[in-house]
Amino acid sequence: MKPSSRLCLALCFASLPIFAQNQTAKSKPSTVISLNNLSSQVSIDLLGGAMVGFQLKTLQINPFTWKVTKAQMPANNKSGAVFQGHFLCLGRWGAPTDGEMKAGVPHNGQAGRDLWKLDASATGQSIRMTSNAPLDGISVERTIQLDPINAVYKVTEKVTNVTSIGRLFNMVQHATIGAPFLDTTTLIDSNAKHGFLQTMCYPNPSEYEFVFPNAFVDSTRAPLDLCTSNNQNSYVSTHIFADSLGWIVAATPNKGLLVGYVWKTKDYPWLNLWQQWVDGKLWAKGLEFGTTGIGKSYQELLAVDTRFHNRSSFFFLDATETVEKSYISFEMQIPADFKGVSSLEMQHAAITVFEKSTRKAFQIPTDLSLK
């Protein structure tokens, strides 16, 4: 595995062993629940709280098949949930400090490891679920609302500091796509702007900065196109936004499917685009939007000025404070010759993506909004 590959893996899964083949788990009661409407299904695993399925009923292709095995998990995450699909990093993005590990804190936070409680189920298209994470000193309440007709759902999460002490904090939506939806033809588009590679961001994230989708492979400034997936590079490319709404889409034209996310950049000012190759195969693509852009401990983030275009890689969660953040996810069918997305609009009760070159509009109606 290349040095850059090891670093990318370390950001999300520090202490992971060499990747092994998927193992067949022993049969046990399922913790997966589903929301359904006329056109789509969303599946959530209460163990860890991850969104593990989102598919159009006409296509039956699930982009969120990515999953690691128990053996691949960090040493301090051997119990509870494995990392899979779209899971939530709470408290930190990646590894805890040595002291936190000794105190039992898992990678990416306790909420992503433990069993969530299903509090209410309304029409089969809306749920509320909660997680108490005393190791992180927080509680989180999540509401998921699926559009009654179309393949669109909204997630709102309220995170409360249940302690009497304020602390530095982060939360990252670790949305990761996998095969068969993900292949070397998958196209990534976003309105992200200035950015840097994680391998070259510390202590000065501006030293080798670039603008999406044009990145650098390494310090030689060899070009890297972030829109494509056929380059055999493993990386984490991190970006900020100039707009009030951030968006990212992944499209695989030969599968006829596009999946996307939209959010307020005041909620999630950073995008971390993770690509990972394992044993010569494209294994994962992370569409990770959140409150942090540098995968370091808080001690390291404070040791030097790590602000990038005046954006910090953390926020302060005061004693007993509650923060609320939302995002919308959607899927739509696309033609086999789809060229990618040049722009996205969310207005007039619809999400519209415009195709590159042709400016053809692909629209999905919805009454869900980020207002």
What confidence score (pLDDT) does residue 6 get? Answer: 40
In which band, very low, low, confident or very high, does the pLDDT at 125 lie, cut at 50, 70 and 90? Answer: confident
How many Å apart are CA 251 and CA 42, to the nearest integer? 18
Is the pLDDT at 15 greater than 50? The verdict is: no
What confidence score (pLDDT) does residue 26 get? Answer: 55
Q: What percent of the chain has pLDDT over 70?
A: 92
Is the pLDDT at 23 greater than 60? The verdict is: no
When pLDDT is averaged across residues 46-52 and rounded to a whole number, the result is 97
Tokens of 53: 């399925």
Question: What are 132-156's pLDDT values in tens digits?
Answer: 999 999 999 999 999 999 999 999 9
In which band, very low, low, confident or very high, does the pLDDT at 123 lie, cut at 50, 70 and 90? Answer: low
Is the pLDDT at 112 greater than 60? The verdict is: yes
Q: Domain ranges in the chain?
A: 31-342
**Was domain 31-342 assigned CATH 3.40.1190.20?**
no
When pLDDT is averaged across residues 337-347 and rounded to a whole number, the result is 97
In which band, very low, low, confident or very high, does the pLDDT at 179 lie, cut at 50, 70 and 90? Answer: very high
Average pLDDT of the chain? 92
By C-alpha distance, which of 61, 108, 117 is closest to 84?
108
What confidence score (pLDDT) does residue 41 get? Answer: 97
Q: Are the C-beta atoms of 290 and 93 separated by less than 8 Å?
A: yes
- CA atoms in the 13 A half-sphere facing the CB of 298: 14
Q: Are the C-beta atoms of 117 and 318 separated by less than 8 Å?
A: no
What confidence score (pLDDT) does residue 94 get? Answer: 85
What confidence score (pLDDT) does residue 12 get? Answer: 47
How many Å apart are CA 280 and CA 298, to the nearest integer? 34
What confidence score (pLDDT) does residue 124 get? Answer: 72
Strand partners, 286: 176, 274
How many Å apart are CA 73 and CA 115, to the nearest integer? 17
What confidence score (pLDDT) does residue 95 get? Answer: 86
What confidence score (pLDDT) does residue 7 get? Answer: 45
When pLDDT is averaged across residues 231-253 and rounded to a whole number, the result is 97
When pLDDT is averaged across residues 218-222 and rounded to a whole number, the result is 95
Tokens of 215: 């990145």
Question: What are 295-311's pLDDT values in tens digits?
Answer: 999 999 999 999 999 99
Residue with the two structure tokens 């290349």: 2
- Bigger pLDDT: 326 or 121? 326
In which band, very low, low, confident or very high, does the pLDDT at 20 lie, cut at 50, 70 and 90? Answer: very low
Question: What are 273-296's pLDDT values in tens digits?
Answer: 999 999 999 999 999 999 999 999
In which band, very low, low, confident or very high, does the pLDDT at 371 lie, cut at 50, 70 and 90? Answer: confident
What are the backbone dihedrals phi and psi of residue 360, each rounded to the nearest 5 degrees, phi first?
A: -65, 135
In which band, very low, low, confident or very high, does the pLDDT at 121 lie, cut at 50, 70 and 90? Answer: low
Q: Which of 1-10, 21-30, 221-230, 248-257 has the lowest mean pLDDT?
A: 1-10
Q: What percent of the chain has pLDDT over 90?
A: 86
Q: Are the C-beta atoms of 119 and 53 separated by less than 8 Å?
A: no
What confidence score (pLDDT) does residue 16 get? Answer: 33
In which band, very low, low, confident or very high, does the pLDDT at 22 lie, cut at 50, 70 and 90? Answer: very low
From the CB of residue 283, how many other CB atoms can be counted at a distance below 10 Å? 17
Is the pLDDT at 69 greater than 50? The verdict is: yes
Report pTM: 0.92
Residues 6+ apart with CB under 8 A from 293: 201, 205, 238, 239, 240, 270, 272, 308, 311, 313
In which band, very low, low, confident or very high, does the pLDDT at 118 lie, cut at 50, 70 and 90? Answer: very high
